[in-house]
Chains A and B, each alone.
Chain A
């Protein structure tokens, strides 16, 4: 491969220098890194706030903060983690960086819109911070902003939901950019069945972002209107309907959990075949299941509302539909496991984190069926069982996929390798801590402990205490992984073009890639996961030894 200058040394537009070369860039890779630093900041902050919430709950009564601060803290934890970390994390960082490269393009279709999305994201984050310190303080409603409380509380709900509104706009524009890029910028030789599965998952996600996000945006505006003008849309005294809010909220927010998990599944679909040195099992089924999850996931929102007082007919239909989503999710899990069967598996931190993902996501998915079945859900609704299920899917799922993506693509993004030993130790601590943190919550939930409460009965103390200890181990593990990755900037051990033996197009470009990504025209394979050349190469090397 001929010598190339990395994108770090090539500003885009070319006349920009210094900070301006970053803040006004059109380059999808620079924007991806700008997102990365912002997302890592919010994630670290959200995690520390979460840990403080768990510390408060480690003992009965007041441990570190009072009830009012506690309410604002768990709302802040939810808002940060949902809107500022988990929704944008994988699409905005790895999607921005790798989607164009995986389809043989030099950038996204709308580079300036991409920059605008980043500014919206930053502005949304800034508004969230402003809402912390202005008015009556940060919202105390939980991240769901349920009426009537969100309309009546004196806290700064209007500003907080405005922040979520702007963050939604950022997410929607990124989705629009990705759909257009996949349709219009794809290499001419790349048919739909040659698109890498990560890009497939982003494509499916992008459709949900475009179609569902406007619903939450409008709903949040309605909350502000209710607070300012008292229209009565959700007020029964004025002919309104409080359950309408829940419908509107979950119409977006349930599909949103698929916005959160689908890109994570795409990451796993990339990592598993590479470290199994084997073509992915069921390529078409995985690509199809991404679209199936996107569609079926949009039909099940009211399973969050079984106890809200909605009609029994609705409960029955939404429960039935919920079980449908389990099918495409299971197709993916079985395909990943089947890919590993008889593969020549090479252990790597990215693979270990992917295996943790499969395990944690499966537990999360199966406990989701307990909640999807109307009968059992009535018993565990709004208990810690829901908290544990949600975190198994979202943190055990998307969170671990995010860590796996960081370890998988780090050498490509920065051209440097990291220390494997610390990465393994960090991953194991995070996973073991995770289990000690969330498994007690399943038990607490089944015992009847409600979520979001500041205090609890004495019989719940041991469960809460061990969950707190697990939390500390988990956070230590996560920060160790981050520390290890940051330390790679100090050691700067160079990474080769294809350190893992990947077959998708990003592994054919230099590490880090040049400004326009490809030094030579991309060579699109008939099948994106054809490892015959990689296996032949490694056998040749072994033969020489």
Chain B
């Protein structure tokens, strides 16, 4: 294991703050579902969900504290997923 790597142990305070953030965003998701935003219904729901995912990845899954290889592996995965979704829409959107 490389010498530059350290084990990061997050404080309970920080973890509790992230958890509180996630619970708050869950409440926002529920709240927003009662408001009819028309076209923006889906984009808003996805934005909130993506924010929650980002928090989980960065803090609970330690992505913020990992080396470059792990970060790039993650970016590659997201890139691959983005390709699969967008390329499929070349079909669905133009049928």
Chain B residues closer than 8 Å to A212, beta-carbon distance: 80
Contact A215 B84 (CB under 8 A): yes
Chain B residues closer than 8 Å to A311, beta-carbon distance: 90-95
Task: Tell which of A179, A183, A211, A317 touches B90, judged by Cβ atoms closer than 8 Å.
Answer: A317
A interface secondary structure, majority: helix
Contact A299 B91 (CB under 8 A): no
A244 to B76, CA, bound (A): 23
Contact B94 A299 (CB under 8 A): no
Instruction: Given A299-B87, A302-B87, A317-B90, decide whether A310 and B76 contact each other with a Cβ distance below 8 A.
Output: no
Q: How far is the CB of B76 from chain A (nearest CB, A)?
A: 7
A212 to B76, CA, bound (A): 12
Candidate in B76, B77, B88 with the most chain A CB atoms within 10 angstroms? B88
Task: Tell which of A184, A215, A251, A310 touches B91, judged by Cβ atoms closer than 8 Å.
Answer: A310
B interface secondary structure, majority: helix
Q: How far is the CB of A134 from chain B (nearest CB, A)?
A: 34
A252 to B94, CA, bound (A): 23
Instruction: Given A183-B69, A215-B84, A298-B83, decide whether A313 and B76 contact each other with a Cβ distance below 8 A.
Output: no
Per the 8 Å Cβ criterion, residues 283-305 of A in contact with B are 298-299, 301-302
Contact B76 A312 (CB under 8 A): no
Candidate in B73, B87, B95 with the most chain A CB atoms within 10 angstroms? B87
Task: Tell which of B73, B76, B91, B95 touches A302, judged by Cβ atoms closer than 8 Å.
Answer: B91
Interface residues on B, range: 10 to 19
Chain A residues closer than 8 Å to B77, beta-carbon distance: 211
Contact A314 B91 (CB under 8 A): yes
Chain A residues closer than 8 Å to B83, beta-carbon distance: 298-299
Q: How far is the CB of A349 from chain B (nearest CB, A)?
A: 39
Contact B87 A313 (CB under 8 A): no
Chain A residues closer than 8 Å to B88, beta-carbon distance: 244, 247
Task: Tell which of B76, B92, B93 touches A207, judged by Cβ atoms closer than 8 Å.
Answer: B76
Per the 8 Å Cβ criterion, residues 56-91 of B in contact with A are 69, 73, 76-77, 80, 83-84, 87-88, 90-91
Asked if A243 is at the interface of the complex by the 8 Å CB criterion, the answer is yes
Q: How far is the CB of A337 from chain B (nearest CB, A)?
A: 32
Per the 8 Å Cβ criterion, residues 1-20 of B in contact with A are 1
Chain B residues closer than 8 Å to A313, beta-carbon distance: 90-91, 93-94
Contact B80 A298 (CB under 8 A): yes
A152 to B38, CA, bound (A): 38
Q: How far is the CB of B66 from chain A (nearest CB, A)?
A: 13
Give the residue name and chain of the B residue nearest to A184 (CB): B1
Give the residue name and chain of the A residue nearest to B70 (CB): A183
Instruction: Given A207-B76, A211-B76, A251-B84, decide whether A243 and B69 contact each other with a Cβ distance below 8 A.
Output: no
Contact A314 B76 (CB under 8 A): no
Give the residue name and chain of the B residue nearest to A309 (CB): B95
Interface residues on A, range: 20 to 34
A313 to B88, CA, bound (A): 11
Chain A residues closer than 8 Å to B69, beta-carbon distance: 183
Task: Tell which of B1, B80, B84, B95 touches A310, judged by Cβ atoms closer than 8 Å.
Answer: B95
Give the residue name and chain of the B residue nearest to A246 (CB): B91
Chain B residues closer than 8 Å to A318, beta-carbon distance: 87
Per the 8 Å Cβ criterion, residues 234-255 of A in contact with B are 241, 243-244, 247, 251
A311 to B91, CA, bound (A): 5
A305 to B77, CA, bound (A): 25
A419 to B83, CA, bound (A): 50
Chain A residues closer than 8 Å to B94, beta-carbon distance: 311-314
A312 to B90, CA, bound (A): 9
Contact A211 B80 (CB under 8 A): yes
Q: How far is the CB of B30 from chain A (nearest CB, A)?
A: 25
Chain B residues closer than 8 Å to A244, beta-carbon distance: 88
A207 to B84, CA, bound (A): 16
A386 to B73, CA, bound (A): 35
Q: How far is the CB of B92 from chain A (nearest CB, A)?
A: 8
Chain A residues closer than 8 Å to B92, beta-carbon distance: 241, 311
Give the residue name and chain of the B residue nearest to A321 (CB): B87
Give the residue name and chain of the B residue nearest to A310 (CB): B91
Q: How far is the CB of B90 from chain A (nearest CB, A)?
A: 5
A212 to B83, CA, bound (A): 12
A301 to B88, CA, bound (A): 10
Chain B residues closer than 8 Å to A179, beta-carbon distance: 73
Contact A314 B90 (CB under 8 A): yes
Besides the known contacts A212-B80, A243-B91, 18 further A-B residue pairs in the complex with CB atoms under 8 A apart:
A179-B73, A207-B76, A247-B91, A298-B83, A299-B83, A302-B87, A302-B91, A309-B95, A310-B95, A311-B91, A311-B94, A312-B94, A313-B94, A314-B90, A314-B91, A314-B94, A317-B90, A318-B87
Q: List 20 A-B contacts (CB under 8 A).
A: A184-B1, A211-B76, A211-B80, A212-B80, A247-B88, A247-B91, A299-B83, A299-B87, A309-B95, A310-B95, A311-B91, A311-B94, A311-B95, A312-B94, A313-B91, A313-B94, A314-B87, A314-B90, A314-B91, A317-B87
**Shortest Cβ-Cβ A-B pairs, 8 listed:** A311-B94, A313-B94, A314-B91, A310-B91, A314-B90, A311-B95, A211-B80, A311-B91
